[in-house]
Amino acid sequence: MPEPESVVEFRGVSRRFGGMLAVNDVTFAIRRGEFFSLLGPSGCGKTTTLRLLAGFETPDAGEVRILGRVANRERPYERGLAMVFQSYALFPHLTVARNVAFGLEQRKVRAAEVRERVARALELVRLDPATYAARMPAQLSGGQRQRVALARALVLEPRILLLDEPLGALDLKLRKQMQLELKALNRELGVTFVYVTHDQEEALAMSDRIAVMHDGRIAQLGTPAEIYESPRTAFVADFIGEANFLGGRVGDAAAGMWTVTRDDGTRMRVPDHPALRAAARVEVAVRPEWLDLSRPGEGPPGENALPATVQDVIYLGETMHVQVTLGDGTPVRVAVRNEGQLIKPLQWRRGDTCLVTWLPEDCQVLEP
Amino acid sequence: MTARRRLLGWLHERPRVRGWGLFAPGAAWIVLFFLVPLVILLAYSFMPRGTYGGVVPGFTLDNYRRFFDPLYLGILQRTVLLSLLTTALCLLLGFPTAWAIARSGRWRNTLLFLAILPFWTSALVRTYATMVLLRDTGLVNALLKRLGVIDLPLHMLYTEGAVLAGLVYGALPFMILPIYSSLEKLDPALLEAAEVLGARPWARLARVVLPLTAPGIAAGCMLVFIPTLGSFVVPDLLGGAKVMMVGNLVQNQFGAARDWPFGSAASFVVMTLVLAAVMGLLQVGRREAQPEGRAE
C-alpha cells in the first residue's frame, strides 16, 4: 500500500470540555516529513489538538486520521507515535538508559538490541552514553533532560513525533541551539514533527508550516512567510510579529488599487483583495519594518504617506523603533534599520512632525 | 531593658541553647512516659513472679521460655497471620480508593474528609456498633432474612472473619492516607509518557506507579500492620474468647492473671517482631528509592 501524502489528517474535529469547545471543527492535514507547528496563545486549543492526535483525548465530533486510518478510538500506544512532553516526564526512578529503553522493553525488543539502540539514540541527541547512561534524571540539567526525553521518543523510530512546548523551560541560548538541532533531526530522520508552541519566533524559525490557533479554531495555516507577510485576520497579524492597524472606508478602485479614506480624512491606497467592498469599512495591517519616516513634504512618490508626530524613539541596536501618532491619534510603530555609516538614519526627536510612508502593496487587508 | 528583652537577646546569640530549649520538653515527656516504663517492663520480663502476683527480685528466662509453649505460639501465629491478612486486605481495598480520591478533582477534599470521618468517634464505640451489625439478630442477618437469602441467621460474630473485618475497617484509613499522599504527588504526565511508549495499564502500574509510590505503600503497611499486631479491643469484642490475639494475652497477664513478668515477656516478643517488620519495610522502601538497576 503506498503511503498517503498526509500522515495526519483532522477532519472536522471538535472536543468539548464542559460547556467550552476547546477544539472547534478543526480540519487540516500534515504532510509526510514536514515540521508542522501548532501556534497560539494559552487556551487556544493547540495542546488539546496535540492530545487528540496523541490519543489522550477522544474527539466529540470528526475524524482523526493517522497514516490513512481512522484513529479516533485507538489508545495512545496503538498509534505508532512518540511524544516529548512539556515537563519532559522522565521516569525519576529509572536511569537515563532505562528511561530511553522503556519503550523498547514494552515492545519486547531483545536486550542486546535494546542496548545498542539506546546508545545510538543517546548519541543522536549528543549525549555521550558512557557518561550519561547510568545517571538519574535528577542529576541532569534541563537541557540534558530535554535530550533524554527526545532520545526516549526517537529510539522507537516513530513516523510521527509530537512535541508539546519542549523548549519552554530552557534558557534563551540553549533554546536557540535546540531549535537548530530539532530542525536538523527532522530533516535527517525524515520523521514528521508536530510541534506545539506559544512562541511565535520559535514557530517561524523552525516550521515548514504553521497552524495559528485561536479560540479552538485554526485562524490561518501556511508557511512562516505566508503567515508573517499575509496575515488573514487581525488576530494573526497581532500575534505573529508586530503590526500597525489602520482602518478606513473603501472608496474607488483604479489600476488594481483601492482608495481608502481614514476617519480623519487622510487617504491611503490598498491593493485589491476579495474582502474589499466599495463603501464598506476595512482594516489593514502594516508591519513596522515596512514603514519608513520622511520629513513633511519629502515622501517618496507613489507611496502612501500619512502625517504624524513623533512620540518616542527606542534604540534597539540593530533597529530603532520610532513611536508616532497619526492625526487622529492612532499610534503607529515604525522600525528603522540601523545601517551603520552607510546610510545615516534621520535623527528624530519627540514632537517632530513627519510623514509615515510605505508601499501600498505592503498593506495587508484583514478579513473581518 | 526589660528582663524579657534581655532573655530574648541572650537566646538570640545562643542558637544551641535555643535548639535544646525547643527539643527538651517533648523529649523529657517521651523519656518519662515511654522509655522509663519500657525499661521497667524489660526488667520485669526477666524477673520471677511472686506467689500472689507482683514481681520479686531475681533473674530468670522462664517467662520467655514459657512463651514458646505451643498454646502461646498458636496465639502468636494467629496474631501475625491476622495482621498480615489485615494489611493485605487494607492494601487491596485502600490502594484503589486512594487512587480514586487522588484523581477525583474537586471532590478530593470531600472524599478525604469522608475517609477520616471514622476517627471522629472512639474505636470502642465503633466496634460495639460493628457487633450490632454482625450479631445473630443484627442488621446483616435481618436484611438477608428479609431478602429470603437465608432462613437461619448466619453466625458471624465471634469468628476470625468478624475479627478480620473489624481490624480491616479500623485500619483502612491508615492505609488510604499515606498512599493517597504519594499518589497525589505522582505526575500524571509520567503515566501518559508510559502509555505513549507502549505500556498497557498493568505495565504502567508495575513499572511506574508502584515504584514511585512504594514509600507511601510501605508507610501504609507499617501504619496498619504494627497497631494491628498489638490490637486487643477488636479481637476481644468481635472474637469473644475464641479469637485471642497477643494483645489479649498481654492484657490478661497484666489484668486477670496478675502475671506481670510473663505479660512483659510477651510484650517484648511482639515488640521484637514489630521492629523486624519495620526494618524489613524500610529496606524495601530504600531499595525502591534507588535506581532500578543500571543498563549494562
A353-358 and A331-337 beta bridge pairing: unpaired
Contacts of B107 (CB under 8 A, 6+ apart): none
Q: What is the pLDDT of residue A168?
A: 84
With cut-offs at 50, 70 and 90, classify the pLDDT of residue B293: very low
Give mean pLDDT, residues B10-21: 88
- Asked if residue A367 lies in contact with residue A274, where contact means CB atoms within 8 angstroms, the answer is no
Q: What is the pLDDT of residue B292?
A: 46
Decide if B193 touches A, using CB distance below 8 A: yes
- Pairwise CA distance, residues A92 & A336, whole Å: 50
Q: Are residues B280 and B182 in the same domain?
A: yes
Note the CATH number of domain A6-238. 3.40.50.300
Residue in the structure block whose three cell numbers are 535527517: A188
Mutation to test the A interface, candidates B197, B200, B284, B292, most A Cβ within 10 Å? B197
Q: Are residues B110 and B252 in the same domain?
A: yes
Closest CA to A348 of A358, A359, A334: A334
Q: What is the span of the domain harbouring residue B17? A: 1-45
Asked whether residue B109 carries a pLDDT value surpassing 80, the answer given is yes
- Pairwise CA distance, residues B28 & A270, whole Å: 88
Decide if B195 touches A, using CB distance below 8 A: yes
The verdict on residue B99 lying in a domain is yes
Which of B:197-236 have CB within 8 Å of A?
Answer: 197-200, 203, 207-208, 211-212
The verdict on residue B58 lying in a domain is no
Question: What sections of B103-159 are H helices per DSSP?
Answer: 108-116, 123-134, 139-146
Closest CA to B134 of B220, B229, B243: B243
CATH class of A242-293+303-365: mainly beta
Q: Which of A77, A89, A133 sits opposite B198 (nearest CB)?
A: A77
The identity of residue A217, as a single letter, is R
Q: Are residues B37 and B88 in the same domain?
A: no
Percentage with pLDDT > 90 across chain B: 57
With cut-offs at 50, 70 and 90, classify the pLDDT of residue B201: very high
Q: Are residues B26 and B144 in the same domain?
A: no
Distance from CA of B153 to the nearest CA of A (A): 50
Give mean pLDDT, residues A73-90: 94
Q: Are residues B212 and B280 in the same domain?
A: yes
Q: What is the pLDDT of residue B290?
A: 54
The verdict on residue B17 lying in a domain is yes
What is the DSSP track for A74-143?
A: --GGGTTEEEE-TT----TTS-HHHHHHHHHHHTT--HHHHHHHHHHHHHHTT--HHHHTT--GGGS-HH
* Mean pLDDT for all residues in chain A: 92
The verdict on residue B269 lying in a domain is yes
Query: Any idea where the domains of chain A sit in the sequence?
Result: 6-238, 242-293+303-365
- Asked if residue B94 lies in contact with residue B175, where contact means CB atoms within 8 angstroms, the answer is yes
Which of B:48-107 have CB within 8 Å of A?
Answer: none
Local structure of A267: helix, strand or coil: strand
Local structure of A39: helix, strand or coil: strand
C-alpha cell at A199: 512562541
Q: Inspect the interface and report whether the beta carbons of B194 and A81 lie closer than 8 Å.
A: no
Distances in Å between the alpha carbon of B14 and those of A5, A133, A240, B21, B27? 76, 48, 60, 11, 20
What is the dihedral sign for C-alpha A56, A59, A65, A69? positive
Q: What are phi and psi of A123, to 5 degrees?
A: -65, -35
Asked whether residue B136 carries a pLDDT value surpassing 80, the answer given is yes
Q: What is the pLDDT of residue B294?
A: 41
Asked whether residue B296 carries a pLDDT value surpassing 50, the answer given is no
Closest CA to B212 of B185, B194, B192, B193: B185
Lowest mean pLDDT among A167-171, A217-221, A311-315: A167-171
C-alpha cell at A122: 543517546
The verdict on residue B57 lying in a domain is no
Asked whether residue B131 carries a pLDDT value surpassing 60, the answer given is yes
A209-214 and A35-39 beta bridge pairing: parallel
Q: Measured between beta carbons, which residues in chain B are less than 8 angstroms from residue A114? A: 295
Distances in Å between the alpha carbon of A97 and those of A86, A144, A163, B151? 20, 13, 21, 64
The verdict on residue B56 lying in a domain is no
pLDDT digits (tens, 9 = 90+) for B152-193: 888 888 989 999 999 999 999 999 999 999 999 999 999 999
Q: What domain count does chain B have?
A: 2
The verdict on residue B50 lying in a domain is no
Q: What is the pLDDT of residue A180?
A: 93
DSSP structural state of residue B125: H
Give mean pLDDT, residues A345-357: 86
With cut-offs at 50, 70 and 90, classify the pLDDT of residue A182: very high
Give mean pLDDT, residues A13-41: 95
Secondary structure element (H or E) that encloses residue A285, with its range: strand A281-286
Residue in the structure block whose three cell numbers are 523519656: B31
Q: What is the pLDDT of residue A343?
A: 61
The verdict on residue B26 lying in a domain is yes
For chain B, the residue count is: 296
C-alpha cell at A115: 542496548
Q: Measured between beta carbons, which residues in chain A are less than 8 angstroms from residue B203? A: 106
pLDDT digits (tens, 9 = 90+) for A218-227: 999 999 999 9
CATH number of the domain that residue B171 is part of: 1.10.3720.10
Closest CA to B157 of B144, B139, B171, B173: B139
Give the A:B interface size as CB pairs under 8 Å. 86
Q: Which of A87, A91, A134 sits opposite B208 (nearest CB)?
A: A91
pLDDT digits (tens, 9 = 90+) for A136-165: 999 999 999 999 999 999 999 999 999 999
pLDDT digits (tens, 9 = 90+) for A226-269: 999 999 999 999 999 999 999 899 998 888 889 999 988 899 99
Asked whether residue B287 carries a pLDDT value surpassing 80, the answer given is no
Lowest mean pLDDT among A92-101, A358-367, B6-15: B6-15
Q: Measured between beta carbons, which residues in chain A are less than 8 angstroms from residue B211? A: 93
With cut-offs at 50, 70 and 90, classify the pLDDT of residue B151: confident
Q: What is the pLDDT of residue B53?
A: 76
What is the dihedral sign for C-alpha A158, A164, A169, A174? positive
Q: Are residues B198 and B145 in the same domain?
A: yes
Q: Inspect the interface and report whether the beta carbons of B212 and A134 lie closer than 8 Å.
A: no
